[in-house]
């Protein structure tokens, strides 16, 4: 089962992630944030947030991004000699203590409560607490009101959802009009040479690595299979369009090993 | 703003942020919930189910919810 897989690999997942993707998974997530380009005030829902060691990866990046945007705004104002009163300056410091800039909020929702618990502890250690909530929930049946969020992200989580169309419908429902759907997921490689290397890598190397590092060959085989079974770029784009999203696009990263799909609720 | 968890459970459970109730709903009915401080649960009165909160994290998976005893529910509605 999906849950068993996560339980059995969780503790060594970070090492595996880094060796499997050669640390590139961090760049993929950074790219997701740059595409999102959130502004202070954005309400984010991050679904199927990952595993115990990845917990909160997207949320923390989002918070960093918003904070640096805010700092940049303040610095720009100072540079252009706009009248920034002492009240405004002190307010900008106050905001960082009590809430995220602009009243931004992040909700991390995942089916795995252990993952969320660890994510929450991690957040407290790293100083990300305000404006960040953790909710155990199912992507196919979200416990949120309609039209709530500006952005919905799902990073390396949708391929493990049983009914992808239901997850997409729920994403549509909870997004505000004008809101954006963003999915970062393994996809199909578009270059024949790289494709062969990737096949070799995923069917030969990864299970062996899985056995050596995590001692769990079967779980990694399952992961590799789930990547293989997930629809290719165009097919997934069509599914997103069928849900009702508009201006649906995708961007291939690393020759299509991974893709970011984006759509808007308009 | 923050609902207290009671003195007894304070060490074990973290506080539940009741601000979540502004947008958190029952995943089945999509209707609002009530925070029950005594049991630290989120109640869907209409369906008679209660979702648990652990370490301040609400568990909104329907399988995790428990059925509220109908008899107790009737008694409580008589009180109010």
Tens-place pLDDT, residues A1-28: 555 555 555 445 555 555 666 678 888 9
Decide if A143 and B25 are in contact by the 8 Å CB cutoff: yes
Whether pLDDT at A234 is above 90:
yes
CATH no., domain B2-79: 2.20.25.10
> A113: which chain B residues are within 8 Å (Cβ-Cβ)?
54, 57, 59
Interface ipTM > 0.85:
no
pLDDT of the residue at A215: 66
Q: What is the mean pLDDT of residues A166-192?
A: 94
> B58: which chain A residues are within 8 Å (Cβ-Cβ)?
135-136, 143
pLDDT of the residue at A121: 87
Give the percent of chain B with pLDDT over 70: 69
Q: Which residue of A has its CA nearest to B56?
A: A134
Q: What is the mean pLDDT of residues A223-234?
A: 85
Q: Is B46 helix (H, G, I), strand (E, B) or coil?
A: coil
Decide if B20 and A117 are in contact by the 8 Å CB cutoff: no
Average pLDDT of the residues of chain A = 84
CB of A25 closer than 8 Å to CB of A57: no
Whether the CA torsion A164, A166, A169, A173 is positive or negative: it is negative
User: Where do the domains of chain B lie?
Assistant: 2-79
> B23: which chain A residues are within 8 Å (Cβ-Cβ)?
144-145, 148
Q: Is B28 helix (H, G, I), strand (E, B) or coil?
A: coil
Over residues A159-171, the pLDDT tens digits come to 888 999 999 999 9
Decide if B57 and A113 are in contact by the 8 Å CB cutoff: yes
Lowest mean pLDDT among A140-144, A184-188, A195-199, A217-221: A217-221
Whether pLDDT at B72 is above 70:
no
pLDDT of the residue at A107: 97
Total count of residues recorded for chain A: 266
Closest CA to A219 of A6, A28, A57, A72: A6
pLDDT of the residue at B71: 55
pLDDT of the residue at A22: 63
Over residues A33-85, the pLDDT tens digits come to 999 999 989 999 999 866 655 778 899 999 999 999 888 888 887 777 667 67
Over residues A97-111, the pLDDT tens digits come to 568 888 899 999 999
Tell me the pLDDT band of B1, cut-offs 50, 70 and 90: very low
Interface test with A, best of B3, B24, B62 (most A CBs within 10 A): B24
- The domains found in chain A, sorted by start residue, are 2-264 (3.40.50.150)
10 Å CB burial of residue A260 (0-12, 13-18, 19+) is buried
Tell me the pLDDT band of A145, cut-offs 50, 70 and 90: very high
pLDDT of the residue at A70: 87
pLDDT of the residue at A86: 72
pLDDT of the residue at B5: 43
> B30: which chain A residues are within 8 Å (Cβ-Cβ)?
145-146
**A182 pairs with which residues across the strands?**
A153, A262
Q: Is residue B30 less than 8 Å (CB to CB) from chain A?
A: yes
Decide if A120 and B60 are in contact by the 8 Å CB cutoff: no
Strands A105-110 and A132-136: parallel
Over residues B36-70, the pLDDT tens digits come to 999 999 999 999 999 999 999 999 999 999 998 76
Tell me the pLDDT band of A209, cut-offs 50, 70 and 90: low
């Amino acid at each position: 089962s999906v849950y068993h897989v996560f339980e059995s690999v969780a503790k060594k997942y970070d090492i595996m992630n880094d060796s499997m993707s050669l640390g590139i998974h961090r760049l993929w997530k950074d790219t997701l944030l740059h595409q999102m380009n959130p502004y202070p005030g954005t309400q984010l829902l991050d679904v199927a947030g990952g595993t115990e060691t990845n917990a909160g990866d997207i949320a923390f990046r989002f918070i960093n991004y918003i904070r640096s945007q805010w700092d940049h705004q303040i610095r720009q104002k100072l540079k252009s000699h706009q009248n920034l009163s002492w009240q405004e300056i002190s307010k900008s410091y106050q905001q960082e203590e009590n809430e995220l800039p602009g009243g931004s909020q992040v909700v991390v929702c995942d089916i795995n409560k252990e993952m969320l618990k660890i994510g929450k502890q991690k957040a407290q250690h790293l100083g990300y607490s305000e404006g960040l909530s953790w909710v155990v929930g199912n992507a196919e049946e979200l416990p949120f009101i309609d039209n709530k969020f500006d952005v919905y992200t799902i990073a390396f989580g949708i391929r493990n959802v049983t009914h992808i169309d239901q997850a997409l419908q729920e994403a549509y429902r909870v997004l505000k009009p004008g809101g954006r759907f963003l999915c970062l997921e393994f996809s199909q490689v578009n270059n024949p040479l790289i494709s062969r290397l990737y096949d070799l890598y995923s069917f030969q190397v990864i299970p062996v690595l899985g056995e050596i590092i995590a001692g769990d060959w079967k779980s990694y085989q399952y992961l590799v299979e789930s990547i293989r079974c997930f629809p290719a770029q165009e097919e997934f784009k069509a599914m997103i369009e069928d849900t009702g999203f508009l201006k649906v696009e995708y961007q291939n990263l690393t020759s299509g090993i991974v893709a970011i799909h984006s759509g808007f609720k308009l | 703003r923050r609902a207290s968890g009671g003195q007894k459970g304070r060490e074990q459970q973290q506080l539940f942020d009741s601000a979540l109730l502004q947008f958190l709903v029952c995943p089945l009915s999509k209707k609002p919930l009530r925070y029950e401080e005594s049991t630290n649960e989120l109640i869907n009165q209409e369906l008679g189910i209660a979702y648990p909160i652990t370490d301040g994290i609400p568990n909104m998976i329907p399988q995790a919810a428990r059925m509220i005893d109908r008899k107790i529910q009737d008694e409580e509605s008589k009180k109010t």
